[in-house]
Structure 1
Amino acid sequence: MAVPQNKTELLAAIDKTYGKLAADFAAIPVERTAEKTLEGHAKGIMMSVHDLAAYLLGWNLLVIKWYRGRKAGQEVDFPETGYKWNELGRLAQKFYADHAALPFPDLLAELDRAKSDIVAIIEAEDDTSLYGRPWYEKWTLGRMIQFNTSSPYANAHTRLVKWRKAQALS
């Protein structure tokens, strides 16, 4: 899929990739979601399907936090308070831990809510505010949203398709 260049394309990319991802998650038996049989987000770490959903939720919640903070005129820590961009593996571990106690169906409901909140953010903006100027360093708001929604949704879909085949869950 091409990199979205405007509001319409961004919304379409999120809709398409999230739709595939939601179908993937729905096809996995809940009792299999805690198995640490997926390659993790840090070298040498294995994760579960639950962890993958927690990772996606973590990034979606950060997008919302960044946006709301900026809208309120606050200084925003990127990527997250206490983390640097070269510590994303450690941040992934935080996301796994943050949502570890949440039952998988509830985790998916939270992910769906966060995705809906991001769609509402996009819908409240226009092409100029999304793509017409840098929002964080050289990146536009639309690109920052895409980096943390449709791109990781597509990556997670690819991982889950491969995992389901390896687990004979096709």
Structure 2
Amino acid sequence: MAVPQSKAELLSAIDINYAKLAKDLASIPEPLTRAKTLEGHMKNTTMSVHDLVAYLVGWNELVLKWHAQQRAGKVVDFPETGFQWNQLGQLAQKFYADYKGLAWPELLVRLETAKTKLVDLVESQSDIALYGVSWYEKHTMGRMIQFNTSSPYANARGRLRAWKKANDLD
């Protein structure tokens, strides 16, 4: 799928990639979601399907936090307070821990809720606000949202499909 260049394309990419991911997630037996059998987000680590979804929730909610802070006139600490861009593996580990206590169904609801709030955010913006001005360094708001929604949804789906095939779940 091409990189979105407009509000309509971004909304479409989020909806299409999320729908495909949600279908795959719904087919995974809950008892298998905690097995650490996927390659992790940090070198030489493993994660579970639950961790993979926690990662998505973490980034989706982080984007919402960035926008809330900016709207409130606060300085946004990118990517997250206490983390630099070269520490994204450690940030992934934080997300795994943050959502570890959520049951699988609750985690899926949390992902859908975050995705819905991001869609609402995109719908509230104009094409110019999303793609006409830099929002963070050289990146537009639309690009930053895409980096943390439709692209990771597609990536996670690819990981899941390979995992399901390797585990005879297809």
Q: Which category of TM-score, normalised to the shorter sequence, fits these structures?
A: over 0.9
Partner deviation per Cα, 1:94-116 (whole Å, 9 max, x = no partner):
00000001001100000000000
* Distance in 1 between residues matched to 2:38 and 2:24, nearest whole Å: 14
Instruction: Give me the whole-angstrom Cα distance separating, in 1, the residues matched to 2:127 and 2:11.
Output: 12
- Structure 2 partner of 1:134: 134
Name the residue aligned to 1:27: 27
Structure 1 unaligned segments of length 5 or more: list them.
Answer: none
Distance between the aligned counterparts of 1:138 and 1:86, measured in 2?
17
Taking every aligned residue pair, what percent have the same amino acid on both sides?
A: 61
Structure 1 position 120, deviation (Å) = 0.3
**Following TM superposition, by how much is the alpha carbon of 1:50 offset from its aligned partner in structure 2, in angstroms?**
0.1
- What RMSD, in angstroms, separates the aligned Cα atoms of the two structures? 0.3
Q: Does 1:121 align with 2:99?
A: no
Paired residues for 1:2-151 under 5 Å: 2-151=2-151
Give TM-score scaled by structure 2 length: 1.00
Unaligned runs of 5+ in 2: none
Distance 2:71 2:140 in 1: 15
Which digits, 9 at most, give the CA deviation of each residue in 1:61-91, with x for residues without a partner?
Answer: 0000001111111101000000000000000
Residue in structure 2 matched with residue 157 of structure 1 by the alignment: 157
Runs of 4+ in 1 over 2 A off after TM superposition: none
Q: What amino acid is aligned across from residue 67 of structure 1 in structure 2?
A: H
- TM-score for both structures, normalised by structure 1: 1.00
SS of equivalent to 1:2: coil
